[in-house]
Structure 1
Amino acid sequence: MKKKLIAIVVSAAAVLPAVAMADITVYGRAHVSTDFLDDGADYSETNISSNSSRLGFKGDHQINPDLKAFFQIEQEINFTNGGDGNGFNTRDTFVGLSGKKFGAVQLGRFDSPFKVARGPANLFGDQVGDMRNLTRVGNARFDERYDNTVQYTTPSFGGFNAKLAYSVHEGESAQVDADGDSLKTDSMSMSLNYAGGPFEASLAYEQAEEDTGRGERDGIRAAAAYKLTDAFKMVGFYQTLDYTGTDATSDATRDLLTSDVYGVGGEFKVAANTAVKAMWMTRDADADSYDSDMWVVGVEHKLDKAVRIYANYAVVDNDDNVALTPWGQARTATPGGAAGEEATGFSVGLRYDF
């Protein structure tokens, strides 16, 4: 299916006049790593992973001086095996209108404001050691793209802007129960964001109703970054999630998925194109013996603006009843962990943005 869609798009681009393609950009990311992963028990293997690699098309059209239309279509691309995607829209895909005075409105399927709000503190995104290994656990997770979403983004006021997104329902159409009553499958997400000078921060809230696929839950997230010098940046992160689930959810499950996650990190440029990074995070669950700590160190070198190489070493230390790993998110190589063990990962990666 994906091959057919790509062929159609490429063929159409080849026959369109150059002027018609002037505002359309083909972009993407090839991100692959070689990883040695050890769960602390029986698994200790070398893997090659495709890490949120993607191909996309985006563009805009100036309707008049005060109004612009824009779109994006983005697909995850697996560089290591065939994958299982069935459509050309598995990542952020949307269409919308924007203006300098009123901001932007978009509709489609894309990262929620809550998900994007981790950005200021996201030192190891899509790599071994990604913070989502602790923030995105089980059915309580919130780092999501929601179906059937409309989002409003305000203009920037003194470095501040706000995002408000509402997902009408999951799936192709709204659903009803056996009595004909509407199921509550909507979700809401919002964030307040600031970027100015050496400081960048986001504060977000998200809530999902009881009939969504993972049940009722809500959360608050805060992330910040501050450049103490041109070479050194400090970051901090905090998240609290309250998981209610459904009527059938046990109190024990609610306790193990309700949690606080927080951490600090830093990035130091040792040369113009080379940085050393480190971060420590902890997940504190309401349930006993379900806590985890993660720390990660890495070095990244940019060969130029488009290509970078890196090496990371990450560890997750688990309590007796939990089996998290530092490699479980945003990657194709995701073997499971072992409860109560210390999982370690060493990764060498190449990322090419085009």
Structure 2
Amino acid sequence: MNKKLLAMAVGVAVLAPGMALADVSIYGRAHVSLDQLDDGGDYNETNLSSNSSRLGFRGDTKIADSNLTAFFQVETEINFAQGKGSSWASRDTFVGLKGDFGMVRAGQFDSPFKAARDPANLFGDQLGDMRNLTRVGDARFDERTPNTIHYQTPNYNGLQFNLGYSIHEGTAAKDDEKQDAVSASVTYANGPFQGALAYEQYGRDTSNGKRKAVRLAGAYKVADPVKLVAFYQNANHDDDQFDSDTWGLGAEFQVAPATYVKGMYMMMDADAKDMSADMVAVGVEHRLDKALRVYANYAIVMNDDLAALTPWQQARTTNVGGAAGENAQGLSLGMRYDF
């Protein structure tokens, strides 16, 4: 349902008179769910959540007499549960060039490390999202880094390399502070296999401290109706309490032409005593067409004595905290409409 935004295209043409009019479109996602959430302690309530819903504009222009294409994107989070938006351009927002050399862009967007979870991400932006175990406390690696330059190689028979460098946080670099971050990945998608290997490191003066991690994710389509996924992450932080290894295994089954059943088990093995947790998520999803899908999920996090994680806090407007040492569980009925 892309609609041409002539006024924006004219604006691009004014700013870049040597180019043809940009091909500009509007897109978005409305993703809401009705959730019954129980932290195992005192909290057991029904909530309506908006789950990484967004509105965006993107466009590209073929540069005359060259093999180069200029492109841009501006994306903002929209809270469909409460009828409001976040700050303008709060999500992936960038400008860049692409051609035979590959692609280079600058702005704020998902780091290569964050994107590397995609092959195994069966419950992305839903109850049971793997980030509820991989993005804990100051060990935050699933980030959208600011002030970033990203280079991606051409696709070599399914193989691509990505290198991202976040120069600093905030509007300007600070004297004698290391606020940079490096994120790199190699991805492969060919035939029934899709995989990613990634590394990320943050400087000592970044907002969540000095940290580094390695991530591996893979998916293999055994047959048309069956897909198996696996995930591993090793995270290290200057504050040892955030060091952990996280594992995950899952599967998705196509039980009807438009209906999928999926499940995933994840374990976060924390170095800190009594801070580990396990998560189980299961769900059924029906895709009415390319734009609209509905689903039902159940997920539970089983916490060690000092851990207070939940299966619902990431990528959702419902972010109620958990209770230490308790099992947090939820049931979610959701709808996602892409336009």
| TM class by smaller structure | over 0.9
Matches within 5 A, 1:124-135: 124-135=123-134
Residue 85 of structure 1, CA deviation: 2.3
Q: Does the CA-based 8 Å contact 2:76-2:85 persist in structure 1?
A: no
CA distance in 2, matches of 1:47, 1:29: 20
Query: 1:307 pairs with 292, 298, 301, which one?
Result: 292
Runs of 4+ aligned structure 1 residues displaced above 2 Å come to 9-18, 82-86
Q: Which residue of 1 aligns with 2:219?
A: 225
Instruction: State the TM-score, normalizing by the size of structure 2.
Output: 0.94
Q: Deviations over 1:273-302 (max 9, x none)?
A: 000000000000001111000000000000
Query: 2:331 pairs with 339, 342, 346, which one?
Result: 346
Matches within 5 A, 1:26-45: 26-45=26-45
Q: Which residue of 1 aligns with 2:59?
A: 59
Q: Counterpart of 1:170 in 2: which secondary structure?
A: coil
Unaligned runs of 5+ in 2: 14-19
Q: Does the CA-based 8 Å contact 2:21-2:61 persist in structure 1?
A: no
Query: 1:196 pairs with 190, 199, 203, which one?
Result: 190
Q: Does the CA-based 8 Å contact 1:255-1:285 persist in structure 2?
A: no
Residue 25 of structure 1, CA deviation: 1.1
Q: Which residue of 2 aligns with 1:72?
A: 73
Q: Counterpart of 2:240 in 1: which secondary structure?
A: helix
CA distance in 1, matches of 2:30, 2:165: 31
Q: Counterpart of 2:132 in 1: which secondary structure?
A: helix
CA distance in 2, matches of 1:79, 1:255: 38
CA distance in 1, matches of 2:168, 2:77: 23
Matches within 5 A, 1:154-233: 154-176=153-175, 182-233=176-227
Matches within 5 A, 1:113-124: 113-124=112-123
Q: Does the CA-based 8 Å contact 2:9-2:24 persist in structure 1?
A: no
CA distance in 2, matches of 1:323, 1:52: 23
CA RMSD of aligned residues (A): 2.0
CA distance in 2, matches of 1:301, 1:263: 24
Query: 1:283 pairs with 268, 283, 300, which one?
Result: 268
Q: Does the CA-based 8 Å contact 2:9-2:22 persist in structure 1?
A: no
Residue 21 of structure 1, CA deviation: 6.5
Q: Percent identical across equivalent pairs?
A: 59
Residue 72 of structure 1, CA deviation: 0.3
Residue 66 of structure 1, CA deviation: 1.2
CA distance in 1, matches of 2:47, 2:287: 24
CA distance in 1, matches of 2:83, 2:48: 14
Q: Deviations over 1:87-110 (max 9, x none)?
A: x110000000000x2100000000
Unaligned runs of 5+ in 1: 1-8, 177-181, 245-253
Q: Counterpart of 1:287 in 2: which secondary structure?
A: coil
Equivalent residue pairs, number: 330
CA distance in 2, matches of 1:103, 1:11: 28
CA distance in 1, matches of 2:313, 2:12: 44
CA distance in 2, matches of 1:287, 1:172: 35
Residue 16 of structure 1, CA deviation: 7.5
Change in 2 beyond 3 A, CA 1:46/1:112 = same
Q: Deviations over 1:43-63 (max 9, x none)?
A: 000000000000000011001
Residue 82 of structure 1, CA deviation: 5.3
Change in 2 beyond 3 A, CA 1:118/1:77 = same
Change in 2 beyond 3 A, CA 1:35/1:205 = same
Residue 175 of structure 1, CA deviation: 1.1
CA distance in 2, matches of 1:42, 1:89: 37
Q: Does the CA-based 8 Å contact 2:79-2:85 persist in structure 1?
A: no
Structure 1 residue 258 corresponds to structure 2 residue 243? yes
Residue 255 of structure 1, CA deviation: 3.0
Residue 334 of structure 1, CA deviation: 1.1
> What is the letter of the counterpart of residue 306 of structure 2?
N
CA distance in 2, matches of 1:17, 1:114: 32
Q: Does the CA-based 8 Å contact 2:166-2:182 persist in structure 1?
A: yes
